[in-house]
Amino acid sequence: MKELLIIAIGSALVNNVVLSQFLGLCPFLGVSKKVDTAAGMGTAVIFVITLASAVTGAIYQFILTPLNITYLQTIVFILVIAALVQFVEMFLKKFMQPLYQALGVYLPLITTNCAVLGVALTNVQKSYGILTGVVNGFATAAGFTISIIILAGLREKMEYNDVPKAFQGMPIVLVTAGLMAIAFCGFSGLL
């Protein structure tokens, strides 16, 4: 249990997928204009990464390894992730139409979000079992959600600030994300 807690804290805060590994920046920067949209994206990412960690871990352990075809892991993982994102997209389109429209093009981008594939590959590289991989995936996605919601809150506040013309738009967002990355480096003393 202690090991799972250390992995969870490490994945969510210390080795934050966005702010320390710089994976998943496209939805991080693109969907972080409003807190509610960012929270919706974070929830979708939590669902996809957690489920992808479980499914890819099981496929790796019970199919790829026994058949000695682990060299196909990247292709198989991409196919699994694409299928899961399609499932999430169909679910949101049917049951949560406003969130589906708010996420727009960024929802299919979860398929190409390198953070999802990065977690699946990290689970394999670190020889995590299925349970440990799911904990790592959930914590990584929770760290992504924390980061995107914080950035969205800061961006909403920055709308009312007097920002120099050269920094308006994406430049100030990138500076803010950089400052957040520096702040998250402070969590490295936790473990």
Q: Are 134 and 50 in contact (CB under 8 A)?
A: yes
pLDDT tens digits along 32-69: 999 998 998 888 889 889 999 999 999 999 999 999 99
pLDDT at 87: 84
Output the CA–CA distances (angstroms, integers) from residue 57 to 18, 80, 114, 159, in the order listed: 22, 11, 17, 42
User: In degrees, to the nearest 5, what angle opens at C-alpha 32 toward C-alphas 154 and 49?
Assistant: 125
Q: Over the chain, what is the mean pLDDT?
A: 90
pLDDT at 10: 92
**3-state DSSP call for residue 23?**
coil
pTM above 0.75, yes or no: yes
pLDDT at 190: 74
pLDDT at 93: 87
Helix (H) or strand (E) holding 38: helix 35-59
pLDDT tens digits along 3-19: 999 999 999 999 999 99
pLDDT tens digits along 153-186: 999 999 888 889 999 889 999 999 999 999 998 8
Q: Are 136 and 11 in contact (CB under 8 A)?
A: yes
Q: Are 130 and 57 in contact (CB under 8 A)?
A: yes
Question: What is the band of 92 on the pLDDT scale with cuts at 50, 70, 90?
Answer: confident
Q: Which residue has the higher pLDDT, 107 or 74?
A: 74
pLDDT tens digits along 113-145: 788 999 999 999 999 999 999 999 999 999 999
**Residue 149: pLDDT over 90:** yes
What number is the average pLDDT over the span 73-89? 88
